[in-house]
Amino acid sequence: MTDYIGRFAPSPTGPLHFGSLIAAVASFLDARAHGGYWLLRIEDLDPPREIAGSAEQIISSLQAHGLLWDGTVWRQSERSAAYQNALAKLQRTGLSYRCDCSRAKLAGNDGIYPGFCRSRDLQVLDNCATRVVVDTDALGFEDVIQGPQSQSLAGEVGDFIVRRRDGLFAYQLAVVVDDAGQGVNHVIRGADLLGSTPRQIYLQHCLGLPTPVYGHIPLATNKLGQKLSKQNLAQGLDNDAALGNLLAAMQFLGQELPVQSFTSPAQLLEWATGRWRRQLIPRQGALSCNQS
Ligand code: GLU
């Protein structure tokens, strides 16, 4: 084993579908090909969006596909104390503030927060979100799959939310706290999160946490060109077709395909680990504004 620690971090908002399988396969093969660990974290941060039973469904689908993780499964629903500590640190260092702007007030700003509440010093917590103050420097990083990226948080995102007005912690905060908490140093995930990465790197700087290596795989889309997601009713995977599903995922990721047939997913994954090449993954294009 090397010191590589990767992870797969699904939200339990539906069963594992082809779009999430390719993220699981890419992060798994990248970790294993580097002799690393591959961790599993269930991102059950948002109870209203959760579908009962889907965490267990995702877990059994991963098992059926031979995608076996190391260590115990983390669940974000058990991590509130760690998120609260991070939030307190942002508050102590003057990097966050409360905001009571309504949706209506924010309409028409292209999703970029104009800083209305920055200097209001609101003290109430109820019905207020907490935002982090961003700076005006361009934030650049090297994506190991998509190449160099850059985003101006001030110009393209604005002060962003770390705790929602309904009291739930925001994904951006939780993911950074948990990646650091689990010692994750390689994040391979879908390109829908490419636009979130500068926010996450910024939070790492604010909180004094290390920045992992990031790589974003292209998104699988349906016939209409829409991202495969639970919102677009992407179908859950048939666990009895695991070998075929894995081959389709490898093909999508541009990897070499075997001529011989395999009898188990674990055998196929072992073969694929030995031939994994990041350079073969198709590129999606550089970061553009306002991706979430
Ligand atoms: N939980 C997120 C999702 O299912 C992924 C988060 C991440 O990989 O950083 O879309």
CA distance 164 to 170: 6
Which has more pLDDT, 122 or 255?
255
The model carries a pTM of 0.93
Identical fold for domains 5-78+184-199+210-291 and 80-171, yes or no, is: yes
Q: Which fold would CATH assign to domain 5-78+184-199+210-291?
A: Rossmann fold (3.40.50)
Q: Which two tokens stand for residue 57?
A: 């469904």
Give the right CATH number for 80-171 from 3.40.50.280, 2.170.260.10, 3.40.50.620, 3.40.50.300: 3.40.50.620
Domain ranges of the chain: 5-78+184-199+210-291, 80-171
- Ligand 1 centre distance from Cα of residue 289 (Å): 19
Amino acid 286: pLDDT: 56
Amino acid 290: pLDDT: 36
CA distance 55 to 61: 10
Unique residue bearing structure tokens 């829908």: 192
What is the mean predicted confidence (pLDDT) over 184-212? 97
Hey, which of 193, 227, 231, 232 would you mutate to test ligand 1's pocket, going by the most ligand atoms within 8 Å of its Cβ?
Answer: 193
- Whether residue 292 is predicted with pLDDT greater than 50 in this model: the reply is no
Type of residue found at 91: Q
Q: Which two tokens stand for residue 114?
A: 């104009």
Regarding the beta carbon of 10 and ligand 1, being less than 6 Å apart is answered yes
